[in-house]
Structure 1
Amino acid sequence: MSQESAHGKWTLSDSDDDDDDVPSSQANNIKTERVEPPKQDTRKTEPLTRKVDSFFHSNTDTTDVKYAPSLVVKKEEEKPSVLVMGSEARQTAHANQQKPMKFESNPSPSVKRKRETEEAGAGWAMSSSDDDDDNKGKGIRAGQQAQPKKAAPVQSSPKRVKKEDTRPPSPHGRTYYIDEPPDYFETSINEETETYRFYLNKVVGLDKKYNTGAVHIREILSPMFGTLKESVQFNYCFDIPWMVKQYPPEFSDKPVLIVHGEKRESKARLIQQAQPYAHIRFCQAKLDIAFGTHHTKMMLLWYVEGFRVVILTSNMIRADWYQKTQGMWMSPLYPLLPEGSPETAGESPTYFKRDLIEYLQAYRAPELSEWIQRIKEHDLSETSIYLIGSTPGRYVGSDMEKWGHLRLRKLLKEHTRPVPNEEAWPVIGQFSSIGSMGLDKTKWLAAEFQRTLTTLGGGGKSVRPEPPMLLVYPSVDDVRRSLEGYPAGGSLPYSIQTAQRQLWLHNYFHRWGAETTGRSHAMPHIKTYMRASPDFTELAWFVVTSANLSKAAWGGLEKNNTQVMVRSYELGILFVPSAFNLSTFRVQKNVFSANEGSSGFPVPFDLPPQRYSSKDQPWIWNIPYTQGPDTHGNIWVPS
């Protein structure tokens, strides 16, 4: 069965929920091979037909694929241990950067045929599992095999061209090829004048003015924010040698605790990375539900002068701090409470202290006990944001509102207020990965998540008609024209297997546009959600979080809405106007303008978002793009 829209035509298949949250380590050292199906299999199967028209909408001939070749999984021979970081999409991006494939405007007939074969076969690595019960019975089930007349021969990928010393001119200027300018780490942050304490990261290759007021990890860990004694790094992906280099020399041997979710081989690789560093310890997060991950990104920093919390969207790897758009919230410097203070002392009006302790306790990890005690001993009363966490589990009763999107719904109900013409105020979601939403919007997006995002105040009544919902996700052309080129898509791991099941979702899509911030060409890894006025000049609330658009991250209702199941650890913060003595947030049109002061809220992309045109396609990482060069003159052929 196939579905068609302006944003692509794919045949529906039964495959895994493949989003940013699913660890790629399960797929390491695995390859697929085409095989002939058994000749005596007489079960009836419906032939799968997919007419492939190019994701660039070219006028090339279309190709009919009459069957989906069956696959067997074969483990590769053991290879020397190498440093593998992040999802399969990120690994593919790294391979493409190491051995780029150059674009040829007039390729030879043999290369052209290979390109067409690659594109025609894109996305047909069929999977036999699915963690979305709504999709069972759709497409190819486990054990079923299509009946082609003859298996197509395996086509090898075009030969990769070795990277040369001379690079093609970059439209972003020669500074694109410079790692960090001499003044890159000069910060202009004045903590005393910061209202929201929400920052973007610095990006190499942008004009200096677009990094004004932005922050790099070296600055966060530098002495200007405190004399560091110990720290904790919570994250999904680590490059430990790189991380250690970000600490200044005077703090480079201070104890660091790494909180991660790695298991088995990937855990062994992580521990191996840390062998040269005696000051690093580990805490493994418990992941008891399949396909859950430890996706939280947070720093706890203990200083001689006090304590600080940083909640962010960046992995602990160089690529995430180089040419991507990331966001972070940095707490004030929390002072030590007077000795003998009661446990309830130092609480904020937003109950941030209580909620942070409760989140850390959910790990059930002895390694975090001393940090919980340190938090209790400090004064967190100057905090003006609310904490939104996700922790793996199945929750009932009042616990349903502790985590995920039901936690956000509760906070919006209690701490926001209705606005005039509320049905015209759109909700906007912006993210870097997408999970399985089901066969239509009623399966989760509209039934649960949109209801949460449209909550304003304690009325509890549903708004009809439904407010507009705008989803911001980069198009293929956004990625192609980015600072990194196609490899930027490695941090946007939306797969063909997931996309082909939910073409209806693509009608919500809007392009990543950030011209006013200068960030249009720095692909987003930040995740934000908000409610905006019809003219996009005001916000009713704003969230920055590690949580992408997925049930694994935000939770999904079960058992006739009496239970919520959350798969992953996530962490984010909610800004509401009432915590800042405002009725709404005024949108700051130019995030890096010194003239607007700090009263405006710094939205990291342009408002209103631009809807996909009929020629736009959402970026999908595991299909080739060969008909147009990126900013480095390369094409994208995932291996």
Structure 2
Amino acid sequence: MSEPPAKRRRLSEGHDPPPADVGAASGSELGPASLTRPISPPPRKRVARQERLLVPSPFQLTAIRDLPAESNIGAVSLRDLLGDPLILECWDFNYLHEINFLMCHFDEDVRSSVRVHVVHGFWKRGDPNRVALEQGASAFKNVELHTAYMPEMFGSHHSKMLVLFRYDDTAQLIIHTANMISKDWTNMTNAVWSTPMLPLSKGEENQDFTTGSGHKFKSDLLSYLRAYNTNRSVCRPLVDSLAKFDFSAVRGTLIASVPGRHAVETDPRETRWGWAALKQAMRSIPVQPGKADVVVQVSSIATLGGTDSWIQRTLFDSLSSAAKSTSRPSFKVVFPDASEIRRSLDGYASGGSIHTKIQSAQQAKQLQYLRPIFCHWANDSEKGTELPKGVAVRDGGRKRAAPHIKTYIRYGENSIDWAMLTSANLSKQAWGEAQGASQEIRVASWEIGVLVWPELLADNARMIGTFKTNSPSPVELEGDFPLVGLRIPYNLPLQTYGDDEAPWVATMAHTQPDWMGMTWPGW
């Protein structure tokens, strides 16, 4: 390869400290101890053991521009991801892209030479989004646009992923939740999962198709990328390049969706998509016996039907699968209401990125079965249910940064069983519908995410939530077993909606001014 620029990487630029986050807590929620455990100082007899292995969170939050520094500890910026002058080539997969915004985050010494591939789903020639992309790319000779294969009318190219190749013959994969636009990387809550730097393969790889292994991850990733080449070569050069790298250090399971019709049951070595991929992976993950909550936190909820048949029998059943027979967990859905949008850092403007509808008769029925499991993003609603007494609020540091992040987490009795970061929201288009007596699954959209669990990251480990930090405390959960942290973006304990509360709806007009004095006209 050519010689890299003779320059060391710069640290990310900082920002002037904005006003501190504010808000008082009130409301109620009961569940596993891992959701409601007090956070008062531990007794003196619980002395931290120096030899205890502490593993930082596999997920990192993105930095928020208008929050104080203490809320951004361990957070990552786009400049952190793209500012390395050793980057030779970048593949950017996303729904929305601002080309100039993307390019300005590369190091200035390689900005005009790094080979940039932008993969999008706007297949109509006259689509305003496609026209804007073409105009933006025309300013850079080193940017190439690629249109994803889009066979489903109501699908979208919603995956959010970066693939980086460096001058030192390493590669890196980054799965995240932000559109490649300035709005998502400033005051919206998003998150990132990254592989280690991957070296070139030195020969025969271990053919381990175990769920969570690096080889299985690589196999599924290449299957996902090959799907883009159904009608024409879109990602063939990327597949050829990534096939040369060693993924053995990767710990995680790829959970992706590819548009089209797919068999539900296939050879275990074959890649499954959508809810079928979830169900297959869950069967390999050990979970604690006893009470559990699966918390689904998303930024969009599609029309799911007038009854809860799809969400219960398709998605929740898949999330309930486990290695051993256990009782079905309870389910909760974290989604902001209008008051949380009004008080967010960008006010109503942030609501343009958060979607659901409740206007039609079918959508009204959907609200009826979702309302009992709806929980607030920030647990400080005056109308929400009362929080349990004697349980301190654990502050994720993001209650005023509106959520564009998507997380699915199973909270067991004393710790977290598994966690998933993904582009996939709560929709049939993302996860798929069963076809032909469940022997086939129909998926409309491209999605990608990663699933992790504690024993995947350290032998005999347990996972606990961390708040405003990526690292677990050594005094949590007495014992010598390793502790894995998981950065939680929302506040705990969760606060369920009150009887007359409703989720934020961007298509509705909101006349009550936000904190900046603005109203929302609706769409």
Give the TM-score normalised by structure 2.
Answer: 0.79
Instruction: Give the distance between the partners of 2:426 and 2:67, measured in 1 at CA.
Output: 28
Give the C-alpha shift of residue 629 in structure 1.
Answer: 2.1
State how far apart, in whole Å, the 1-side matches of 2:509 and 2:143 are: 40
- Match of 2:133? 270
Residue matched to 2:38: none
Superposed displacement of residue 194, structure 1? 6.2
Aligned with 1:420 (options 285, 289, 312): 289
Give 1:170 shift: 7.9
Question: What pairs with 1:149-548 in structure 2 (closer than 5 Å)?
Answer: 195-223=56-84, 227-253=86-112, 254-264=114-124, 265-266=126-127, 267-305=130-168, 306-338=170-202, 341-342=203-204, 349-350=213-214, 351-364=216-229, 365-396=232-263, 398-399=265-266, 402-414=272-284, 416-421=285-290, 424-442=291-309, 444-459=310-325, 463=327, 466-497=328-359, 499-503=363-367, 504-513=369-378, 516-534=395-413, 537-548=414-425
Q: How many residues align?
A: 438
Decide whether aligned partners of structure 1 residues 596 and 419 sit closer, same or farther in structure 2, where only a CA change above 3 A counts: closer
Residue type matched to 2:408 in 1?
Y
1:543–1:573 Cα contact (<8 Å) kept? yes
1:630 maps to which residue? 514
- Shift in Å at residue 495 of structure 1? 2.5
**What amino acid is the match of 1:572?**
G
| 3-state SS of 1:237 partner | coil
Task: Kindly indicate whether the alpha-carbon contact (under 8 Å) linking 1:494 and 1:619 is maintained by their aligned counterparts in 2.
Answer: yes
1:534-573 → structure 2 map (5 Å cutoff) = 534=413, 537-573=414-450
Equivalent residue letter for 1:610: Q
Q: Is the 8 A contact 2:189 2:403 kept in 1?
A: yes
CA distance in 1, matches of 2:94, 2:470: 32
* Letter paired with 2:376: R
Q: 1:276 to 1:589 in 2, by over 3 A?
A: closer
The one-letter amino acid of 1:239's match is E
CA–CA distance in structure 1, aligned partners of residues 242 and 62 of structure 2: 26
Where 2:513 maps in the other structure, the secondary structure is coil
1:172·1:205 contact (CA, 8 Å) conserved in 2?
no
SS in 2 for 1:500: helix
d(CA) in 1 for partners of 2:89, 2:54: 27
Aligned partners of 2:397 and 2:350: how far apart in 1? Answer: 17
Task: Work out the CA distance in 1 between the residues paired with 2:237 and 2:93.
Answer: 16
CA contact (8 A) 1:217 1:321 kept: yes
Higher relative contact order (CA 8 A, sep 6+): 2
SS in 2 for 1:356: helix
Q: Distance in 2 between matches of 1:500 and 1:611?
A: 18
Q: CA deviation at 1:250?
A: 1.7
Match of 2:386 in 1: none
Distance 2:54 2:460 in 1: 21
Q: 1:281 to 1:194 in 2, by over 3 A?
A: farther
Per the TM alignment, residue 577 of structure 1 is displaced from its structure 2 partner at its CA by 2.2
Contiguous gaps of at least 5 residues in structure 2: 1-17, 23-52, 380-393, 475-482
The separation in 1 between residues aligned to 2:250 and 2:19, in whole angstroms, is 43
Query: Could you tell me which amino acid in structure 2 is paired with residue 554 of structure 1?
Result: W
Compared CA separation, residues 593 and 435, structure 1 to 2 (3 A) = closer
Query: 1:496·1:622 contact (CA, 8 Å) conserved in 2?
Result: no
2:44 is matched with none
Q: Distance in 1 between matches of 2:240 and 2:493?
A: 45
**CA RMSD, Structure 1 to Structure 2 (Å):** 2.5
Contact residue 387 and residue 573 of structure 1 kept, 8 A: yes
Q: SS state of the match for residue 281, structure 2?
A: helix
Conservation of the 8 A alpha-carbon contact between 1:171 and 1:631: no
Residue 635 of structure 1: SS of its match in structure 2?
coil
Q: CA deviation at 1:241?
A: 1.4
Q: Secondary structure at the match of 2:445?
A: coil
Q: Deviation per CA, 1:481-512, whole angstroms, max 9, x where unpaired?
A: 11111111111121244633412222210000
Q: Are the equivalent residues in 2 in contact too, given 1:390–1:554 (CA < 8 A)?
A: yes
**CA offsets, 1:325-382, max 9 Å, x none?**
10110110011223xx236689982411111111111111524222212212111110
Q: Which residue of 2 aligns with 1:71?
A: none
Q: Is the 8 A contact 2:421 2:449 kept in 1?
A: yes
Q: Secondary structure at the match of 2:505?
A: coil
User: Partners of 1:296 and 1:381 in 2: how far apart?
Assistant: 24
